[in-house]
Copies of this chain bind each other. A is one copy, B any other.
Amino acid sequence: MQPTVRDPNPPLTRSVEDYLKVIYHLSSQGGFAATSDIAAMLEVSSPSVSGMVKRLSETGLIEHVPYRGVQLTPQGRRAALRMIRRHRILELYLTQHLGYDWGGVHAEAERLEHAVSDDLIERMASALGQPQYDPHGDPIPTAAGDIEEAELVALADARVGTKLELRQVGTQDPARLRYFAEQGLTPGVLLTVSERQPFDGPTTIAFVPSGDPRVVGRDLARLLWCQEIGS
């Protein structure tokens, strides 16, 4: 009778997968992810995060510096990017093939990402023609775990007079997403920055080529990630 050896490589649980994704997003700018930020993103208590952080660092998925924060190990990063690939392919598949709108698709993908097989994800990716971006403009990591790192500027910070392409919309909030869609503010749109009010005021843009003007408040303008267009 075996003394019950623990599986050294158990499959990741749903909770673990969501923690890794959140830690990836919080530490992608190079720094550490703070306990309280993780707690806020996942809507759990700080002690819950401390507990999970302990387990994740014991299994080698993250590195924990007490009172500083956590970072992903290469293994944790691979796992996180795998989940992000799943999430974004699911979002795109649901919008392209099942009529979802880009506001409602996030919640569905948030659950499905943990249940689909790699095989199903690759079938969806094929059906979509190996897409590079999800409905919100976010880059889809490759199956090998590579992800495009774009140098983008928030519309709220773009200099007046520059010409921009809207590339990513940095929110999952259905209400804001639907509003952006109504305003024509979806990835791929071209615009110029015509004016910005002082004291963190709104930004005025003009669509290219129509020239139609639009005023965008500061909070929303911070969600619109753009790329400067030469000339």
Q: Which residues of A contact B (CB under 8 A)?
A: 94, 97-100, 107-108, 111-112, 114-117, 119-120, 123-124, 127
Contact = CB atoms under 8 A, between A and B. Distances in A.
A40 B108 CA distance: 32
A36 to B, nearest CB: 22
Copies of this protein in the assembly total 2
Q: Which of A114, A115, A119, A123 has the most CB of B within 10 A?
A: A115
Given A114-B115, A115-B114, A115-B115, A108 B94 contact: no
At the interface, is chain A mostly helix, strand, loop or mixed? Answer: helix
A2 to B, nearest CB: 16
A1 to B, nearest CB: 16
A38 B169 CA distance: 48
A208 to B, nearest CB: 35
Nearest to A107: B117
A117 B94 CA distance: 12
Contact of A98 (B112, B115, B124): B124
22 contacts: A94-B120, A97-B97, A97-B127, A98-B120, A98-B123, A98-B124, A98-B127, A99-B123, A100-B123, A107-B117, A108-B116, A108-B117, A108-B119, A108-B120, A111-B115, A111-B116, A111-B117, A112-B112, A112-B115, A112-B116, A114-B115, A115-B115
Given A97-B97, A98-B124, A99-B123, 7 more contacts: A97-B127, A98-B120, A98-B127, A107-B117, A108-B117, A108-B119, A112-B116
Contacts of A97: 97, 127
A108 B123 CA distance: 13
A21 to B, nearest CB: 16
Nearest to A123: B98
Nearest to A93: B98
A98 B96 CA distance: 14
7 tightest A-B CB contacts, nearest first: A115-B115, A111-B115, A98-B123, A112-B115, A108-B117, A108-B120, A99-B123
A116 B98 CA distance: 13
Contacts of A119: 108
Contacts of A108: 116-117, 119-120
